[in-house]
Amino acid sequence: MSFDHSGHGGRRRLGRRGFLRFGLAGTGAVLAPGVLSACASPAASDDPRALRVWDLFSGGDGLLMDEMIAEAERGADGFRIDRTILEWGPAYYTKLAMAAAGGRAPEVAVLHLSRLAGYAPGGLVEPFDLGLLAEFGVREADFPSAIWQRAQYEGEVYAVPLDTHPFIFFYDLDLADQAGLLDSDGQLVEMGSPEAMLEASAQLAAAHGSTGVLFGHVNDPSQNWRMFNALYAQTGSTFGLPDGGEPEVDIEAAARVIAFMQQLFDGATNPNNLDYDGATAAFTGGRGASIMVGEWELPTLRANGRPLGAAPYPNVFGQPAVHADSHSYVLPRQENADPERRREAHRYVADMLKRSFTWASAGHIPAYQPVIADPEYAALDPQSSYAEAGETAVLDPPSWLTGSGSNFQVRMSQAMQSALLGNASAESAAQQMVRESAALLDQPNPVA
């Protein structure tokens, strides 16, 4: 489907297992507690003390998470985990918000860091106890500061990032080499300007024979926004969405960015009309030299054996910036939180962070820096070549209405889609984005 690509193994498949588990668990809860729910999750029903964890990892990510949890459950002081996988998208965040509002949420849940502004102020998630985390070996210094900053609200830490998952640039190593775009270390050269990027795309197209850069955006809820957010931040501008105010957007810079996107995807050198699946299928089918997409597509893209290079999103406008988000652990609000289970939740989060080398194999950049510093990580190819993207990560503007799976991303992406398809000018798309942002900001804030 075209809307479940979000940075958690967004392969084109429904999270069947998760769906079944959730469905069965739900049915079990209603109809026959202890009977049906036993099939849903064995660990759950035998042991009422099991830690309940919600996440949105399906596909390859889901399998890796299974592996990490299975390891964590081994041993004398192993965990008892009752994992529920839910499909990413607006529905995940609705379910989590409702569970937290009702006070019967799981002990631990995964949240995109970009959504925290919609959860922390309303009290839907509770702060971590940093002392407790430190006891289990996790400290502020272990995280990139760009990400750690966003994990806070009013001086407290509400989220512990597991990874950073940026929107990056994948390319066919051989074609990039032919196009003369690799430096002596075999890494992609710096771009530095819009002209250089356009030139590079033309060289890639020439090397490939038809298409330089693939990008799927048609009817996708996030893709245009991801690219825009990176490029706009590179111009040094900020996209402000003050609560109860007017959007603070540099329209001229926004229009410049969209005009550049129009030039890059001009329909000749690079197609402008692909959707998400079409673009990834085109790349794996050899119909283009490179693709701009989230790193979570790594397993899909390398499945066909093309020599694959990866780089942080090219710096085109001067200031290094890469659009990213971060799967983070949060403690959803519980009516009667049990201190013992809270403690166990802290221990579990710390444990998962330390296992995030496994997590990195799908493409995500571990947020826990000791894993990155390990020589083992440096040997991961191509993951290590975009690890620095974590340092220049730019998330959505902080606001309750933004973030992964939000209506905001959909509206912004749709406004830009018209421009990319040639039905609107860059200026009018930029104006539409501001107009739509203003309309969204105009709504009463439901979480304040």
Partner 1 sequence: MSTTTSKVPVSGEPGARPAGTSPTGPPAPARRRRTGLLFVLPFAAVFVLFMVWPVLHGLWMSFTDESLTLKGTEFVGFDNYAEAFGDPDVWSSLGNTVFFTAISVVPLVLLSLAMALLVHTGLAGQWVWRLAFFAPYLLPVTVVTMIFQWLYQPDLGMLNQALDAVGLGPVGWLSDEAFAMWSIAALTVWWTIGFNFLLYLAALQSLPDTLYEAAALDGAGAWRRLWSITLPQLRRTTVLVVMLQVLASLKVFDQIYILTKGGPNGSTRPILEYIYDVGFTGYRLGYASAISYLFFAIIIIVSIAQLRFMPRKEG
Applying CB under 8 A, the residues found at the interface with partner 1 are: 1-3, 14, 90-91, 93-94, 97-98, 100-101, 122-124, 218-219, 221, 271, 273-275, 277-278, 281-282, 287, 333, 401, 405-407, 410, 414-415, 417-418, 421, 423, 439, 443-444, 446-448
Pairing of strands 327-332, 108-112: antiparallel
- Work out whether strand 290-294 and strand 156-157 pair parallel, antiparallel, or are unpaired: unpaired
State phi, psi for 248 to the nearest 5 degrees. -110, 95
Q: Is-contact 176 187, C-beta < 8 A?
A: no
The residues, any chain, with a CB within 8 Å of residue 31's CB and separated by 6 or more, are none
Please report how close the Cβ of residue 417 comes to partner 1 at its closest, in angstroms.
6
Smallest separation (angstroms) from partner 1 to the CB of 421: 6
Q: In the block, which residue shows the tokens 């009309």?
A: 273
* Residue number, 11 or 346, with CB nearest to partner 1: 11
CB of 88 to partner 1, least distance (A): 13
Question: Are the C-beta atoms of 274 and 267 separated by less than 8 Å?
Answer: no
Nearest Cα neighbor of 236 from 260, 213, 251, 253 is: 253
Residue number with CB closer to partner 1 (206 or 282): 282
Specify whether the CB–CB gap between 50 and 81 falls below 8 A. Answer: yes
Closest separation between CB of residue 91 and partner 1, Å? Answer: 7
Closest Cα partner for 166 from 242, 233, 92? 233
Q: Which of residues 14 and 134 has its CB atom nearest to partner 1 in the complex?
A: 14
Of residues 44 and 401, the one with the C-beta less far from partner 1: 401
What Rg do the C-alpha atoms of the chain give, in angstroms?
A: 22
**Shortest gap between Cβ of 152 and partner 1 (angstroms)?**
20
The distance of Cα 428 from the centroid of its chain, to the nearest Å, equals: 28
Task: Provide the 3-class DSSP secondary structure of residue 193.
Answer: coil
**Minimum gap (Å) between residue 447 Cβ and partner 1:** 5
